[in-house]
Amino acid sequence: MALKITAAKMVAEARARIPEVETADAIAQLGDPDLVIVDIRDVRERQRTGSIPGSVHAPRGMIEFWVDPASPYHKEVFAQEGKRYLFHCASGWRSALTVAMLQEMGFDAAHLKDGFSDWVKQGGPVENPEPRN
């Protein structure tokens, strides 16, 4: 079955219209109180590979609902005035699509261009999950 648009094309189109943050720049900004780093990876990915210290976990499937103040699922972390939001996934594909959708909604955000994998590769700090019993 031929699709009207491939996932790769959707990501490329999203990346062309959203702010992308290079890994080194994100590492340098870690700890900035005005920066909220949002990890949209699946909880199992976080458990397996760790996470960026201080990041907020927001599963990809809930983002639009958590960001929307009119939604019954709204999370206050997304209603902070003066904060900059940086979304990430493992490689930058899911976060590019997420931020493109959020921009359409009117929520200002950027994404970590090359994702958590590059964060780890470039020596960014990683918080490991608590051991599971």
Contact 121, 22 (CB under 8 A): no
Confidence of residue 132 (pLDDT cuts 50, 70, 90): low
Within-domain flag for 112: yes
Provide the token pair at 8. 């790769």
The pLDDT of residue 2 is: 87
Express each pLDDT in 1-39 by its tens digit: 889 999 999 999 999 999 999 999 999 999 999 999 999
Within-domain flag for 56: yes
What domain range is 49 assigned to?
19-121
Split into its structural domains, the chain has a count of 1
Indicate which CATH number applies to the domain containing 49. Answer: 3.40.250.10
Within-domain flag for 54: yes
- The pTM for the full model equals 0.93
- The single-letter DSSP state of residue 122 is T
Residues ≥6 apart with Cβ < 8 Å to 20: 92, 96, 110, 111, 112, 113
Express each pLDDT in 48-84 by its tens digit: 999 999 999 999 999 999 999 999 999 999 999 999 9
Within-domain flag for 127: no
Confidence of residue 130 (pLDDT cuts 50, 70, 90): low
